[in-house]
């Protein structure tokens, strides 16, 4: 299971880096999302996989007697997911606006010369 997850992890990172290096804005967005998922998977994997042992105690006992899953990586991943959700939605809105203004999906077109602005 670890080996499989490691391979998936490598694939996600590789695909993310590849997509970020492309010139298209949509691919940049997809790359960022893939990298974020890869990182979440990495945290999950490094928190040690424990199968079928939730970090929740039975109501009948008061202390853990057996090995149990580490709850912290799950909390970290949940936080990271929430944050990446916020960032991704902002990125989508921003890229949509830029596309409407520049009328191009190419990141190299984002170099309009300085214009005078209306306020400070």
Q: How far is CA 28 from CA 19, 32, 92, in A?
A: 6, 6, 11
89 lies in the binding site for another protein (CB under 8 A): yes
> Min. distance of Cβ 82 from another protein in angstroms?
6
Out of 14, 49, 96, 106, point to the residue binding another protein (CB under 8 A): 96
Letters for 36-75 (x = contact with another protein by CB under 8 A, - = none) are x--x--xx-xxxx---------------------x-xx--
CA within 13 Å, CB half, 15: 15
Out of 25, 26, 55, 68, point to the residue binding another protein (CB under 8 A): 25
Residue 24's DSSP bridge partners are 106
Residue appearing with tokens 């695909």: 15
Q: Six-digit token pair at 64?
A: 């853990």
Do residues 42 and 33 lie in contact, with contact meaning Cβ atoms separated by under 8 Å?
no
Residues that bind another protein (CB under 8 A): 20, 25, 28, 32, 35-36, 39, 42-43, 45-48, 70, 72-73, 76, 78-80, 82-83, 86-87, 89-98, 101-102, 107, 110-112, 114-120
């Amino acid at each position: 299971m670890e080996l499989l997850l490691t391979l998936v992890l490598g694939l996600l990172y590789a695909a993310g880096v590849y997509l970020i290096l492309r010139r298209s804005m949509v691919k940049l967005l997809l790359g960022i999302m893939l990298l974020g998922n890869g990182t979440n998977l990495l945290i999950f994997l490094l928190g040690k996989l424990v199968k079928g042992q939730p970090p929740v105690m039975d109501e009948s006992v008061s202390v853990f007697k057996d090995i149990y899953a580490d709850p912290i990586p799950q909390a970290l991943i949940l936080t990271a997911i929430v944050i990446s959700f916020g960032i991704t939605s902002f990125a989508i809105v921003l890229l949509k606006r830029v596309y409407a203004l520049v009328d191009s999906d190419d990141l190299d077109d984002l170099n309009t010369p300085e214009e005078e602005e209306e306020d400070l």
